[in-house]
A and B are shown apart, each in its own frame.
Chain A
Amino acid sequence: MRRLLLILKNDVRRHLKSPLAIIIYIIIPLAMTGLIGIIFGPGENENTLPPIQVVLVDHDKSLASRLFLGAFDADQMKKMFQVTVADEAEGRKRMEKGKASAMVVIPERFTLDLLDIKPVTLEVIKNPAEQFLPDVVEEFMNTMAVILSGAVQAFEPEARGIRTMLDLPVDAFPWERLGPEFGKAQKKVVAAMKYLNPLLLSLKEEKTKAAGAKAALSRTDIFSVILPGMAIMFLLFIVQTVMRDMISERQDGKLRRMLTTPLRTWELIGARILGGWLMGIVVLLVMVAFGTLVFHVHWGPFGWFLLLGAVGAFWTAAFFALMNALVRNRNQAGALGAPIILAFSLFGGSMMNPEGMPKAFRTVGIITPNRWFIDGAALIRDGRFPTVSLLVLTISGVILLAFAVPALRRRSTV
């Protein structure tokens, strides 16, 4: 055991003397996580759209057109739309310059035609350079048209009454009739109030958190999803690099020299596997620390994640111990290692969201450590213990080790 620890200490000292490879393998996943999160994640003002620029051309300048303007001025609508009232020429100029998503034209006699219960057309001119925002304006105008049509039809008698008054000159305007007409309308509104207030249906906003639910992800959530996948991918790279020393030592005679000392083969193999495992855990802890401090990643219960990381690093060390026992030299190990890690990462979900992968990919992914590590990390993030992931990684790791140890013993003698 003393010699095993001596080899471990020596390996740590050597890697600290030339830590570049390990530093690079720590920085790359963090940088990739940051980039992917920034590019594909939501912005800092989560769940908000930029205000939609709308030009309103009001040829009517009367009661109903003012209602439209008022609708745009309501609290919620203010956040969504930024309305500029302009004449038609100026409005078109703004559209051509791409300064507005849509232009709404309210025709002349809009109010009068509505009160006459005549069909009337609102014109919505959309900016073809934009994909979604003009459609939002169109939908909003459709909704407003439906509401206004319904209102006019419900208050048809009152509307007609008011309409007849509007044709009279100002000095002949029957002010005394205006009160009763509004009074009738008010009675209808009061009668309707018991049906409308309180509203029978209401909406309550809530975000789901259950696994698999299509909840909108915040930027922090995106980092939390990406980083475990990146972490296991680069854990594989780091452990491979560390454990490739076994092959170098076989090639350059250090292994033979070690075996001329009282060192036992099991101590040597144990030191190498333990070294790869410990290095994996240390690197994972560094990534967790960076992820927490820089990206505010939510890992879930830390102890559980540490356990998952330890089991993942164990699997990785056992896998590369076996691979290094089977390959002939360092070049072969390098040529085989990188494609295997990339394949694990592709099928296992480190490179893309498993839910978005073809079914065949997901099926193949079952044999990769990435898949079980990522699944486990997701469960821990949701506060659930990753029993299946831990079992799969531990059992398959032990099986790999059972093949690796005798193969390494054979490789250690000439």
Chain B
Amino acid sequence: MLEIKNLTKSYGDILALDHFSLDLKKGEVLGLLGPNGAGKTTLISILAGTVRDFTGSVSFLGRDLFADRSLKNRMGIVPQDMAFYEELNAMDNLLFWGGLYDVPRAELKSRAGEILEMVELSGRIKEPVKNFSGGMKRRLNTAIGLLHRPDLLLLDEPTVGIDVQAKVSILDLIRKVGVAGTGVIFTTHQLAEVENACSRIAIMDHGRILAQGTLEELIRLVGEKDIVEITGDFAAAAFSETLQDLAGNGLELLSVADGLAALAVSDTEQIPKVMDRLFRRKLAVTDLKIKSPSLEAVFLKLTGRSLRD
């Protein structure tokens, strides 16, 4: 349904997308994971048509996305911003934003009613949106992207800044949309979200996809190793130097920054050895966490940095 080939976009000297390629099938829900600056929002913006001056091609439903304007009617966008009119009520907002698409006028109101039901806002149709909670606003933001029943739904961090209940509701909606046959790409920082809602996960950094697949496929990339996260008062260079000779011998340095490091160990008996080395070198350790193989470990392994970086 969607085929992205060699998409490249720069902002001055900064390469936001570097020959980025991706396929998406009908009904597939793809979670795009990446740290800040990985290029996720640039990708969504190019697909949405709000960023220009790039190279590469995007085919959607067998047609060039940027040459065929009518394809905009087949795509729904849920931006990170709460992009609607707060002084209007939910129904008026849906009628306005839906009206910008080629939805038959007669259908627009009934569709708006249905979608408000779906996002559990039907009880507050006449209330100005400014009175809504953050979670309700996020649901309305998502509803606007779905009103015209798109074949492809793009969501840019749709769960930022909302409570757990609202988050669960939006993820549930995304799953349902996928089941109904709409292809979905959504970007997020939250590993748990993609684990729960996505049929496929892509990890990207520096404008490229580093790995993609199902959750199980990705976890296999780090093998059966445990992840050790060490927090303390140390310099990255000193930390790496201290453990250099242990690396490759059942221990892998996943990411090292000043005060925070992540290691993959095949045997937990290696942890005392690591700690001994650090104490001898007088590198202060304040916390240590051992985690089972997970998407986070994959992420750390692939990007070399934590998602919060």
Q: Please give the residue numbers on chain A whose beta carbons come within 8 Å of chain B beta carbons, in ascending order.
A: 3, 6, 10, 13-14, 17-18, 252-254, 256-263, 413-414
Contacts and interface: CB of A to CB of B under 8 A. Distances in A.
Nearest to A18: B87
A14 B87 CA distance: 7
Contacts of A413: 50-52
Nearest to A10: B96
B85 A260 contact: no
A256 B69 CA distance: 16
A259 B81 contact: no
A257 B87 contact: no
Interface in B87-120: 87-88, 92, 96-97, 99-102
B48 interface: yes
A86 B70 CA distance: 100
23 contacts: A6-B100, A10-B92, A10-B96, A14-B87, A17-B88, A252-B81, A252-B83, A253-B79, A253-B80, A253-B81, A257-B83, A257-B97, A257-B144, A258-B100, A260-B48, A260-B72, A261-B72, A261-B97, A261-B101, A262-B69, A262-B72, A413-B52, A414-B50
Contacts of A414: 45, 50-52
Contacts of B82: 252-253
Nearest to B71: A262
A254 B81 CA distance: 8
A6 B99 contact: yes
Given A262-B69, A262-B73, A414-B45, A254 B85 contact: yes
Given A6-B100, A254-B84, A254-B85, 12 more contacts: A6-B96, A14-B88, A17-B88, A252-B83, A260-B49, A260-B79, A261-B72, A261-B100, A262-B69, A262-B100, A413-B51, A414-B51
A14 B86 CA distance: 9
Nearest to A252: B81
Contacts of A254: 81, 83-85
Given A252-B81, A253-B81, A259 B87 contact: no
A17 B128 CA distance: 10
B92 A13 contact: yes
Contacts of B73: 262
Nearest to B80: A253
A247 B291 CA distance: 48
Contacts of B100: 3, 6, 258, 261-263
B88 A13 contact: yes
B203 interface: no
Contacts of A261: 72, 97, 100-101
A260 B80 CA distance: 14
A10 B85 contact: yes
Nearest to A262: B72
A182 to B, nearest CB: 93
B17 interface: no
